[in-house]
Structure 1
Amino acid sequence: MRVREIKEDQRRVLVVVCDRDEEAVATLRDAIREYDIRAAQVTAVGGFRSGELGYFDPNVHDYLPIAIDGQVEVLSLLGDVAEHDGRPELHVHAVCGRRDGSTIGGHLLRGEVWPTLEVVLTEVAPSLAKRFDPEIGLALLTPDLPG
């Protein structure tokens, strides 16, 4: 992993380049904790050699696995970082393109990077937080907005 912190006005931008063979989710979690990123928007492009996406099933309150079973292009990776139980947590979704042009998408559970994953985390309002909704079974974004 290679990381560069850029400060613009009052917010930071963290550029994380995940190297080949790194596991993307673990690497990004390490970076946001090391740099104390509490609230951010996440975007990325790159590639995975293998991994797993998830589809949230409301009936079982859990993610159903979707295998990434070979080389794919990460066409879009979007999400956020927000506090949950006092710790910054990563929540990202990915759309991955296969060689034949078909795509798969879902919540990124795990991704083995190949050859790279270029990630930009842009810090946002520090009051961004997630709270667990027991009815749904997920921690959901609940920005503390005035009024």
Structure 2
Amino acid sequence: MEVSLAPSSLVVARLHPGEELLESIKNLSRKYSISGGLVVAIGGLKHLEMGVYKVGKYDVQSFDAGEGETIELTSAIGSVALDEKGDPSPHIHVTASLPNHQPVSGHLIKGVVSPLVEVFIVSASGTLRRLPDQSLGLPALTA
């Protein structure tokens, strides 16, 4: 299910089991010609990879839900902008609850949906760019 409310700048999508969260945000941004905006999501995952940035790289941890379990995506928030090639570049941070109720949080690297994720993208009226910033060694949001 996807809903685009015209003339509103809100896109709402329900992701299905097996879909990858970042790729889905990129695909929705392409489909609705979103060149910058705010992303919010909640739902459930069966696989989660997240990182914490440490001088030039991400320290990544992976989590998997067992059979009949869910990693609760309690909050995902971030932005989408266009990279140097003009492709959507989401930057999302997440907070999740593992099946044992342990909270985890960080920069979203990968999230595989199960049973569903609800995504909301509020489109900006202009174009945002995420371009390499040599002083940071990272792509950074620019107007």
TM-score (norm 2): 0.88
Which AA in structure 2 matches 1:73? Answer: E
Unaligned segments of structure 1, at least 5 residues: none
Task: Identify which of 9, 14, 20 aligns with 1:17.
Answer: 14
RMSD: 1.5
1:37 Cα deviation (Å)?
0.7
Distance 2:105 2:20 in 1: 18
Q: Percent identity?
A: 27
Which AA in structure 2 matches 1:117? Answer: V
Which AA in structure 2 matches 1:125? Answer: S
Secondary structure of 2:24's partner?
helix
Distance 2:123 2:87 in 1: 15
Q: Aligned residues, how many?
A: 138
Q: Indicate the residue corresponding to 1:38 in structure 2.
A: 35
Q: Indicate the residue corresponding to 1:76 in structure 2.
A: 75
After superposition, give the CA deviation of every residue in 1:8-67 in whole Å (9 maximum; x if it has no partner). 4xx511111110111111122111112211111000100111121121112xx1222111
Distance 1:100 1:51 in 2: 15
Unaligned segments of structure 2, at least 5 residues: none
Secondary structure of 2:22's partner?
helix
After superposition, give the CA deviation of every residue in 1:64-90 in whole Å (9 maximum; x if it has no partner). 211122231001000011122122211
Distance 1:88 1:28 in 2: 8
1:122 Cα deviation (Å)?
0.4
Distance 2:52 2:101 in 1: 21
1:1-147 map, 5 Å: 2-8=1-7, 11-58=8-55, 61-70=56-65, 71-85=70-84, 86-143=86-143
Secondary structure of 1:32's partner?
helix
Moved over 4 A (4+): none
Secondary structure of 1:117's partner?
strand
TM-score (norm 1): 0.86
After superposition, give the CA deviation of every residue in 1:69-128 in whole Å (9 maximum; x if it has no partner). 223100100001112212221111110112332211111111110110000000113132
Secondary structure of 2:6's partner?
strand
